[in-house]
Structure 1
Amino acid sequence: MTTSADHVFVEPVTSPEDFTHIFYIIGEAFGRQARDAVWTVLNPGWEDAKGQQKGAADLAKRFNSVQTNKDGKPNTVFLKATLPDPAVESKRKVVGMAIWQQCSFVHGFGDPPSADLGDSLLGLDPKEARFASQVFASLWKRRIETTKEKSTAAPPAIFVLDMCCVDPAFQRRGIAQKLVQWGLDEAEKRGGLECTTEASSMGRGAYVKLGFKDEGTGDVVYEVDDEFKSRDKPPNIFLRTES
Structure 2
Amino acid sequence: MSSNARKDIGLRVEVIEQPDDVYRAFDPVSKAFGHQAQDGLWIAMNPGWDTMEGKQAGANRMVSRWRATTKDDRGNPNLIFLKATLPSPDQADRVIAGFAIWVQASAVPGRGDPPVENLKESMNVEALFPENEPEQRYVCQAIGSLHGRRNQVIKEKAIESTPAVMILDLCAVDPAYQRKGIAAALVQWGLDEAKRRGIPECITEASAMGRHVYAKLGFKPEGSEIEYKVDAEFADRERPSNLFMRTGGTASNILDVGRVVMTGTSQVRP
Q: Which residue of 2 aligns with 1:138?
A: 145
Relative contact order, higher structure (CA 8 A, sep 6+): 2
What CA deviation, in whole Å up to 9, does each residue of 1:134-160 have, x standing for no partner?
A: 111111011000001100112101000
Query: Are positions 1:35 and 2:38 aligned together?
Result: yes
Q: Distance in 1 between matches of 2:171 and 2:115?
A: 18
Structure 1, unpaired ranges of 5+ = none
Q: Which residue of 2 aligns with 1:151?
A: 158
| SS of equivalent to 2:176 | helix
Letter in 2 for 1:102: Q
The percentage of counterpart residues that share the same residue type is: 45
Q: Which residue of 1 aligns with 2:257?
A: none
**Residue pair 2:154, 2:164 contacting (<8 A) in 1 also:** yes
What is the number of equivalent residue pairs in this alignment? 241
Structure 2, unpaired ranges of 5+ = 250-270
| SS of equivalent to 1:7 | coil
Q: Which runs of 4+ in 1 moved over 6 A?
A: none
The alpha-carbon deviation at position 5 of structure 1 amounts to 5.3
Query: Are positions 1:209 and 2:206 aligned together?
Result: no
C-alpha change, 1:5 and 1:39, in structure 2 (3 Å) is farther
The alpha-carbon deviation at position 6 of structure 1 amounts to 4.4
**Residue pair 1:101, 1:162 contacting (<8 A) in 2 also:** yes
What CA deviation, in whole Å up to 9, does each residue of 1:6-48 have, x standing for no partner?
A: 4110010000001222111111111111111111111111111
Q: State the TM-score, normalized to the length of structure 1.
A: 0.95
**Residue pair 2:23, 2:63 contacting (<8 A) in 1 also:** no
Q: What's the Cα RMSD here?
A: 1.5
* Equivalent residues in 2 for 1:52-91, closer than 5 Å: 52-88=55-91, 90-91=92-93
Q: Distance in 1 between matches of 2:77 and 2:90?
A: 34
What CA deviation, in whole Å up to 9, does each residue of 1:81-122 have, x standing for no partner?
A: 00001112x431110000000000101100012151534412
Q: Distance in 1 between matches of 2:21 and 2:36?
A: 21
Q: State the TM-score, normalized to the length of structure 2.
A: 0.86
Q: Distance in 2 between matches of 1:202 and 1:130?
A: 27
* Equivalent residues in 2 for 1:204-243, closer than 5 Å: 204-215=211-222, 217-242=223-248
What CA deviation, in whole Å up to 9, does each residue of 1:153-181 have, x standing for no partner?
A: 12101000000000010001100000000
